Structure 1
Amino acid sequence: VQTPFLILGDSWKCCPEGWRPFQESCYYFSDDQMPWNESKKNCSGMGSQLVVINTEAEQVSAGRQMKYQQNAINLFIGLRAQEVGQWRWADQTPYNESAAFWRPREPTNTPEEKCVVIHHQSENLQNWNDVPCTIRSYRICENAVRARSPLD
């Protein structure tokens, strides 16, 4: 089921049911927990990817949506270090330090903590935390919106 949320000209911009729209993407906030690699596969299986946060507006939107997630304290995003301190987005988008939202004293850049979660903090924009990839966490998947004709 597609949920239309924006009409542009003769087409609708749609997100799958249960996904939340923001700008040109749709976001899925999971209600189950799994390690980072399984989270990545789960998003891929839905035709999406772990979220890549490129802007402050996207970070703010993710934080607002987290308020509605019951018990979701940490959510995996698509940022991971292959080597300590060498952060890479899962979709190969270049890591931009000026568009990173680390908590104070993070990242710790230790060999045990190579994956990243958004840690829910009320109204705090700086809420990324590096964690072990093997912990079980919720996740945010991202997918581009689909344009549909109103006749589809």
Structure 2
Amino acid sequence: MIQEKLPQGEMVCWILRLWSAAVISMLLLSTCFIISCVVTYQFMLEKPNRTLSELHTYHSSLTWFSEGTMVSEKSWSCCPKNWKPFGSHCYWVTKHTSTYSKASWNESEKNCFSMGAHLLVIHSKEEQDFITGFLNRDAAYFIGLWDSGHRQWQWVSQTPYNASATFWHKGEPSSDDEKCVIINHLNSGWGWNDIPCSGKQQSVCQMKEIQL
């Protein structure tokens, strides 16, 4: 059988494309490794006595992924290991285990901040549906919404509070003494509820993706 050969010019272009893809992949892997080292270093500076298991859980590596089909069209992003990507953000959910305990709203925000993140800010119904897809229906989770006084709700990210894009349970918010917000599941589905900030709950942390 006689095999058809590509013209020399096309062959050269094909080889160059393969080499370009390989080089770009190596550069991305190197960049993610460097970012992982920097994030871990900063993480250790904030609390030098963190255990190795904590480091492994939070920032032992970065998971990178891409959008687009052609190499020239791809947009690459990174999230810390065990964080879930959606849109332009990464999400991490606390779990009540022997390592992690429930915390107040302020403690939860501090925990998120120590990882370079903040409590969850919900931008859309699609985002809430994605997040609640991996939450425990029997648990409640603090989000980054709080009452600064006189029912003036604010997000920890300084994102403007849009009353027309909220997901309160029926009858909520219900009390001026309940100034922090959880997301939980009732018979009507997932929604928001105001509770005292001192209550102990699980939480969801959020950070921007690392764009490459």
Residue 140 of structure 1 aligns to which amino acid in structure 2? Answer: V
Total equivalences in the alignment? 143
Aligned to 2:90: 26
Structure showing the higher helix proportion among its residues? 2
1:6 aligned onto 2:71 = no
Instruction: Output one character per residue of 1:44-67: Cα deviation in whole Å (capped at 9) or x when no partner.
Output: 10001111111111111121121x
Which whole-Å CA distance do the structure 1 matches of 2:138 and 2:110 have between them? 20
Structure 2: segments with no counterpart, 5+ residues: 1-60
SS for the counterpart of 1:119 is strand
Gaps of 5+ in 1: none
> Counterpart of 2:154?
88
How far residue 10 of structure 1 moved from its aligned partner, in angstroms, is 5.2
TM-score by length of 2: 0.63
Instruction: Report the AA paired with residue 44 of structure 1.
Output: F
1:109-152: CA deviation from partner (whole Å, max 9, x where unpaired): 322x1000001247824x1000000011111111111123xxxx
Residue 138 (structure 1) aligned with residue 202 (structure 2): yes
What is the CA deviation profile of residues 46-90 of structure 1, one whole-angstrom value per residue up to 9, with x for unaligned ones?
Answer: 001111111111111121121xx4x76100000000113111111
Q: What corresponds to 1:41 in structure 2? A: 110
Give, in whole Å, the separation in 1 of the partners of 2:92 and 2:138: 13
Q: 1:37 to 1:64 in 2, by over 3 A?
A: same
Q: What's the % identity of the aligned pairs? A: 39
Rounded Cα–Cα distance in structure 2 between residues aligned with 1:51 and 1:72 = 19
Higher relative contact order (CA 8 A, sep 6+): 1
Letter in 1 for 2:127: E
Contact 2:120 2:206 in 1 (8 A): yes
> Quick check: 1:108 aligned with 2:174?
yes
Higher strand proportion, which one? 1
Structure 1, 89-98 or 6-15: larger mean CA deviation:
6-15
